[in-house]
Amino acid sequence: MVKPATTWLRGLLRAGKVQQRTATRLAKVLFGPPAAKPASKPRRKAVPKAGPTGAALGPPRVRKKAAPAPGKWLAAHYAPLVEPGQLPGRRLPYYLYLPDKAPNAAMRTGGRPLLVMLHGCEQSATQFAEGTRMNRLAERKGYAVLYPQQSLRSHARRCWKWYEKLTQDGGGDVSLIVGAIAQVAARYPIDRSRIYIGGISAGAGMAHIVALNHPQLFAAVGLHSGPVFGAGHSLIGAMHVMQHGAVGRVDSAIDEVLARQPLFPHLPTMLIQGQQDSVVRPVNQTQLVRQSIRINRMPFDTVVTAERWPPGATGSRNPAHGYAVHDYQVGGELLLRVAQIEQLEHAWSGGDASLPFNAKAGPDASKLLLDFFARQQRRF
């Protein structure tokens, strides 16, 4: 049966309006000025509600904020050295978590592992640390955690500029992040063979760029809901990548990296993606898989294993989405781990849902990343 032309046109207009609303929302998140906070209103005194027996109920229970991890939480910044005759450049603020747990024998000899975590748009470094609960897990394992923070002067939404060609080629914020890592590694006993970098969304895109331009620094990289590398190059282009991936640039972008660095070492990578993510759509993960295979020069007979975990019981205290994990191994070395999480939208899996961009339901993305990183060490 052929639909009347008017019905078809109405459907087309509806689809166009949906796409326009999506584009507008992404543009506001990425590039618009921060929303003004509403003026505070005087609080009304709460009136106790009556219970089923007519007796007044007490005040509503307030969720207790989790106690911070017991280690040191330090604030600092990295500022590049100024050449004679030049003006000072931008500074990069950062936070550093140093665990309270005593180092084991290996750490006393070689230093602590260091995890570098890059937040997403509209997040601060402290919010990212709290939402992911990464410091608590790092405390148990004895890891130090570095949280660089994008400045509001550089971007009104604290977005890392992963979409700029200059940044993708190793300029922009890349040198600031690398400088902060070097500064921390010089000031504290850090195991330079066990430095890892990860992030979410724009932070994931930036973490990937830093690792691709400085692969000798990192033992592994972890990307949660990240855009594919090498495309965008404009504001509209960035939105297109987030929704549709890097059409025509998936392979060539990696080939350009390999042309600049013919001796590019193995770069073990973990990719985590929500299958219901409408901000950075799953096509990006599919293309990131292809890029990881290419950058690691995996042969056609690479061993790929798959495992799936079912969702948790409905209404349980620890809800969990179902998810699948695919491992890519070459010669016994785990080079790529791909986690696809059902029903997860654009949020850190298993995070503190009282904060934006965090989903309560597991699996715990922080634990997934640390478990993967624990298997990786840079060979010099």
pLDDT of residue 64: 61
Residue 107 near residue 324 (C-beta atoms within 8 A): no
pLDDT of residue 68: 86
β-pair type (303-309, 323-330):
antiparallel
Beta bridge pairs of residue 144: 114
CA dihedral sign of residues 218, 162, 284, 225 = positive
Residue where the block lists tokens 């006993």: 189
DSSP output for 177-206: HHHHHHHHHHHTTEEEEEEEEEEETHHHHH
pLDDT of residue 377: 97
3-class secondary-structure state, position 112 = strand
Sheet holding 112-118, edge to edge: 72-78, 92-98, 144-148, 112-118, 190-200, 220-224, 269-274, 333-341, 323-330, 303-309
pLDDT of residue 314: 76
| Contacts (Cβ under 8 Å, ≥6 apart) of 140 | 101
Q: What percentage of residues in the chain have a pLDDT greater than 90?
A: 77
Range of the domain at 218: 72-81+88-308+319-373
Phi, then psi, of 37 in degrees rounded to 5? -75, 135
Q: 373-377: which pairs have CB atoms within 8 A and are 24 or more residues apart?
A: 373/113, 373/115, 373/194, 373/196, 373/219, 373/220, 373/222, 374/141, 375/268, 375/334, 376/194, 376/196, 376/219, 376/220, 376/268, 376/334, 377/193, 377/194, 377/219
Any domain includes 329: yes
Any domain includes 59: no
Any domain includes 36: no
How many CB atoms are closer than 10 A to CB 105?
7
pLDDT less than 50: residues of the chain: 1-9, 11-13, 15-19, 22, 31-63
- The pTM assigned to this predicted structure is 0.86
pLDDT of residue 296: 98
Task: Tell me the CA distances in angstroms from 301 to 298, 307, 328, one per residue in order.
Answer: 8, 19, 10
Any domain includes 141: yes
pLDDT of residue 59: 43
My answer on whether omega of the bond before 265 falls inside 30° of 0, hence cis, is no
Helices and strands (H and E) in the chain: how many: 11, 12
Any domain includes 176: yes
pLDDT of residue 52: 33
Any domain includes 339: yes
Any domain includes 97: yes
pLDDT of residue 55: 36
CA dihedral sign of residues 211, 212, 215, 219 = positive
- Any idea what the CATH number is for the domain that residue 258 is in? 3.40.50.1820
Any domain includes 25: no
β-pair type (333-341, 323-330):
antiparallel
- The string of pLDDT tens digits covering residues 313-352 is 877 888 999 999 999 999 999 999 999 999 999 999 999 9
How many domains would you assign to the chain? 1
